[in-house]
Chains A and B, each alone.
Chain A
Amino acid sequence: MVRYLLRRLLLMIPTLLGVAALVFIMIRIVPGDIVELKYAGQGAYAPREAIERERAQLGLDKPLWHQFSTWIWGMARLDFGQSMWTGRPIAHEIGIRLELSLQLALMATLIAVLIAVPLGTIAAVKQDTWIDYCARVFSIAGLAVPSFWLGILMILGFVLYFRWLPPLTFTSFWVDPVANLSQMIWPAIAVGYRYSAVATRMTRSALLESLGEDYVRTARAKGVWEPRVIARHALKNAILPVITVIGLEFAFLVGGLVVTEQVFNLNGIGKLFVEAISQRDYTMVQSLVLLTSAVFIVVNFAVDLVNACLDPRVRYQ
């Protein structure tokens, strides 16, 4: 097991290197140049010499292999470098936004788990009753309604009927918990609802499968108390795929809430991603892709570990 874990950890390096090479090439294949966008994008005139000088200043006149090796060498030393658009350190720019994105992902996950596990369980236990139907409608609606659309509805409702909106600027939870939660709770609900729909369906179907297994039948035949059968025998086994889904969704949420962040004007990683791509901020895009890839890899790894702990049948060689 330890060897397996070590191998998994070491494999992260070539995986991240591959991602780095891929994103480096892809962002440069996309037409459009950061300097051109900076000047001509505003419709203003900039002489060719100024544009060339800026390119040289950003190192874009250097060969690609030089740009790539410089960047990778920096990353190896945990030096993310500077944003080509703003000139500010990338670590600082990402750091400001990471707190918000992580908090939103955590809150949405918490909301999703609190809804999905009980609801999915009840729906499975009460299969084909009105409770099950309600749960299924709830989850199908959650899958059908995009979280950004729900967010827009929320905002319109707040503005039109209550003349109220969550604060526009992010306040850290550690500075002012009330202000922080009053801003974060609504996008967390919007995202958490969609997320819970996925998890509810997964919980229900996995639990239904478990409830039909021999060991459940045996437990019931032995006269084990029904809630105990469901919680200890069926749910414990059924929860494994749910944990996998929750883990991957969480990793996605860290960098993937692009539209929701725009709707609620949240200064998170997703918003930064969109801006960086549209601005052709090469170094920023590269760092963000690498960061989100790292989050995915780490979360995936953590999910495997949790699965191994929960299910003794899972053995890693």
Chain B
Amino acid sequence: MAIRLFFKRANAVRAGALPVAVIVWAGLTAGPSAFAAEKPRAGSNLVFAVGGTPPSFDGHRETTFAMLHPVAPHYSTLLRFDPQSYPKIVGDVAESWTVSKDGLVYTFKIRRNVKFHDGSQLTARDVKATYDKIIFPPAGVASARQASYAVVQEIETPDIYTVMFRLKQASASFLANLASPWNFIYKADILVRDPRWYEKNIMGSGPFVFVEHVPGSHWVGKKNPDYFMKGRPYLDGYRAIFIRDTAPRVAAIRSGQALIEFRGFSPAARDDIMKTLGNKGVVQESPWICNLTVTINNEKKPFDDPRVRRALTLAIDRRLASKALSKISLAKYVGGLFRPGSEFAASDAELKKLAGFGDNIEGARKEARRLLKEAGVPEGFSFSLKNRNVKEPYEVTGVFVIDQWRQIGLNVNHIQQEGGPYFDDFRQGNYDAGIDFACDFMDEPDLQLIKFLSSDKSTLNYARYKDPVLDDLYEKQSRETHPKKRLALLRQFEKRVLDERAYQFHILWWQRLVPHWAKVKGWKITPSHYLNQDLRDVWLAE
């Protein structure tokens, strides 16, 4: 049982110590919670805040939580991650499934009692049309996740309740990819008429029916009385309020105008909220599938020399970073290419063998100085670190990294930029080093390693190197369905990226902190702010 109850937070910054009753659910390790024993109460409307606005309503083309949080409650997906025991995969509209022995055919049986909000039956044809749009989008239709399903050869529907995915080769990540929260099941008839209809309209089979959207202001959904899960959802409806700035979003929760914000807050905002809410509030915490990396421009001198890049990663004391930064920012967990605690993560012993992840920081810095000297980099060498102008975790991490590099005799200029110029400079290679980031909806090597593929294969590889060895390792791990063999390949990949070549390297993984009103029940934090957002299990206590 991983419920840690009621710790008192002494707030040293503010006058006087204020006891704050907080419940922390450790996301990954938590078992059934004390709240799970409470009897869910039907009725009430949930008001929650969203820190952005949805560009379009189409889950297949968007990449922002600002779309997912208000829109996901209207839709079902084929599979989903069980929020009570992530990363377990369970069926959503899929009742059951089988995988052929050679791993090339996945067959799904669709539930017979799933209806769209217009009253029509959801069938295998709708699932096929949905995935055809995602994997083989027609001209003029954008699909942000098409590349994740490149392994699919074709989709068939042997009967109206059966869908078969035929793959070109075995894929270790395929099933998990089908649990993507972005893959809303759309109605085939609508897609036939207009494949872009869902960009501006809502018609799903999820627990809530669309009521209203006022751009920039709010989104309203009401209970779907014909939802396929009897007794769900518990809520009568929900209202998502779009509040872009942190200060008014915190104020909205402190005042009870919104009861929760699902993405999460910084430690300071969490403390502000809990100081006001006292025992009326709880905090759920989890490691987050988001991280910050230092990206090095491998095409620029002297960074084209692996000794220089290795020196840069050796100089960073990640253990100290974890202790210091976690108090003031989202950055917290020391990890390699995979989220610490995930099934793919290196053990602590394995991690310590990689450059920059060991215990002996003095020894590492001595080695870093030696490497720089050997590479001909003079003492006091100057370069710039480009970063986003977002306070945390970007700015604080950038400042920390610069201080670490100063300790091996490097003189680094911190350049903070607004999103547009920042991405533009990264894309054009107009930088020396930079702070980059990644966020995914699940722990999955196929997703998380894309950034590290050769730059002609990955738009996210801003480090501008080409390495056929890494590309080959990626292909091999992707096809390897035996877990242990796959792990061995992943360790090879990780060692090459972070240690041998030090192309680009992680600093810290994030912590997800969701403070909310205690009366919000039935929602459990996951390591991703994209998951568990259909609200079907959520209810409000009086």
A residues lining the B interface (CB < 8 Å): 30-33, 36-48, 50-51, 53-54, 57, 85-88, 92-93, 96-97, 152, 155-156, 158-160, 163-165, 167-170, 262-265, 267, 271-272, 275, 278-280
10 more contacts with CB within 8 A, not counting A45-B458, A54-B142, are A31-B425, A32-B420, A43-B290, A46-B147, A85-B55, A88-B200, A159-B251, A159-B255, A165-B251, A271-B244
**In the complex, A36→B458 CA distance in Å?**
14
In the bound complex, do residue B459 and residue A263 qualify as a contact, i.e. CB atoms below 8 Å apart?
no
CB-CB nearest in chain B for A278: B419
CB-CB nearest in chain B for A49: B146
Residues in chain B near residue A279, CB distance under 8 A: 55
In the bound complex, do residue A262 and residue B245 qualify as a contact, i.e. CB atoms below 8 Å apart?
yes
**In the complex, A236→B422 CA distance in Å?**
54
Pairs A–B under 8 Å by Cβ, sample size 11: A40-B460, A41-B64, A41-B423, A43-B437, A86-B55, A87-B200, A93-B215, A93-B216, A155-B248, A265-B252, A275-B216
Contacts A152-B247, A158-B255, A160-B276 given; indicate if A57 touches B142 (C-beta within 8 A). Answer: yes
Interface readout for B206-229 with A: 1 if CB under 8 Å, 0 if not? 000000001111100000000000
Contact of B438 among A43, A51, A170 (CB under 8 A): A43
A48 smallest CB distance to B (angstroms): 5
CB-CB nearest in chain B for A30: B420
**In the complex, A264→B215 CA distance in Å?**
17
B140 at the interface (CB under 8 A from A): yes
Contact of A53 among B55, B140, B427 (CB under 8 A): B140
Residues in chain A near residue B257, CB distance under 8 A: 165, 167-168
CB-CB nearest in chain A for B439: A43
In the bound complex, do residue A87 and residue B56 qualify as a contact, i.e. CB atoms below 8 Å apart?
yes
A264 smallest CB distance to B (angstroms): 7
Residues in chain A near residue B248, CB distance under 8 A: 155, 262-265
B483 at the interface (CB under 8 A from A): no
In the bound complex, do residue B439 and residue A42 qualify as a contact, i.e. CB atoms below 8 Å apart?
yes
A91 smallest CB distance to B (angstroms): 12
Residues in chain A near residue B242, CB distance under 8 A: 267
Residues in chain B near residue A86, CB distance under 8 A: 54-56, 215
Residues in chain A near residue B143, CB distance under 8 A: 50
In the bound complex, do residue B421 and residue A267 qualify as a contact, i.e. CB atoms below 8 Å apart?
no
**In the complex, A93→B55 CA distance in Å?**
12
CB-CB nearest in chain B for A152: B247
In the bound complex, do residue A159 and residue B140 qualify as a contact, i.e. CB atoms below 8 Å apart?
no
Indicate the member of A160, A169, A262, A280 with the most B CB atoms within 10 Å: A169
**In the complex, A28→B520 CA distance in Å?**
45
Interface readout for B385-424 with A: 1 if CB under 8 Å, 0 if not? 0000000000000000000000000000000001111111
In the bound complex, do residue A87 and residue B451 qualify as a contact, i.e. CB atoms below 8 Å apart?
no
B174 smallest CB distance to A (angstroms): 17
**In the complex, A45→B63 CA distance in Å?**
9
**In the complex, A44→B112 CA distance in Å?**
34
In the bound complex, do residue B258 and residue A168 qualify as a contact, i.e. CB atoms below 8 Å apart?
yes
Interface readout for B59-70 with A: 1 if CB under 8 Å, 0 if not? 000011100000
Instruction: Report B223-240 residues with CB < 8 Å from chain A CB.
Output: 239
In the bound complex, do residue B423 and residue A168 qualify as a contact, i.e. CB atoms below 8 Å apart?
no
Interface readout for B345-377 with A: 1 if CB under 8 Å, 0 if not? 000000000000000000000000000000000
Instruction: Report B416-464 residues with CB < 8 Å from chain A CB.
Output: 418-425, 427, 437-440, 447, 450-451, 458-460
In the bound complex, do residue B255 and residue A57 qualify as a contact, i.e. CB atoms below 8 Å apart?
no
Residues in chain A near residue B65, CB distance under 8 A: 42
In the bound complex, do residue A46 and residue B63 qualify as a contact, i.e. CB atoms below 8 Å apart?
yes
Q: Which 5 A-B pairs have the closest CB atoms?
A: A32-B420, A31-B424, A42-B63, A44-B63, A31-B421
Contacts A33-B424, A46-B459 given; indicate if A275 touches B55 (C-beta within 8 A). Answer: no
Indicate the member of A37, A46, A48, A93 with the most B CB atoms within 10 Å: A46
**In the complex, A42→B182 CA distance in Å?**
14
Residues in chain B near residue A31, CB distance under 8 A: 420-421, 424-425
B76 at the interface (CB under 8 A from A): no
In the bound complex, do residue B245 and residue A263 qualify as a contact, i.e. CB atoms below 8 Å apart?
yes
B144 at the interface (CB under 8 A from A): yes
B4 smallest CB distance to A (angstroms): 28
**In the complex, A160→B216 CA distance in Å?**
27
Indicate the member of A47, A57, A168 with the most B CB atoms within 10 Å: A168
CB-CB nearest in chain B for A47: B147
Contact of B423 among A37, A96, A163 (CB under 8 A): A37
B500 smallest CB distance to A (angstroms): 24
Instruction: Report B42-62 residues with CB < 8 Å from chain A CB.
Output: 53-56
B401 smallest CB distance to A (angstroms): 18
B254 at the interface (CB under 8 A from A): yes
In the bound complex, do residue B216 and residue A96 qualify as a contact, i.e. CB atoms below 8 Å apart?
yes
**In the complex, A97→B65 CA distance in Å?**
23
Contact of A36 among B199, B239, B255, B424 (CB under 8 A): B424
B498 at the interface (CB under 8 A from A): no
A188 smallest CB distance to B (angstroms): 17
B243 at the interface (CB under 8 A from A): yes
**In the complex, A280→B290 CA distance in Å?**
25
In the bound complex, do residue B144 and residue A275 qualify as a contact, i.e. CB atoms below 8 Å apart?
no
**In the complex, A92→B248 CA distance in Å?**
26
CB-CB nearest in chain A for B56: A87
Residues in chain A near residue B217, CB distance under 8 A: 96, 169-170, 267
Residues in chain A near residue B276, CB distance under 8 A: 159-160
**In the complex, A112→B128 CA distance in Å?**
61
Residues in chain A near residue B243, CB distance under 8 A: 168, 265
Contact of A30 among B200, B421, B459, B460 (CB under 8 A): B421
Residues in chain B near residue A164, CB distance under 8 A: 255
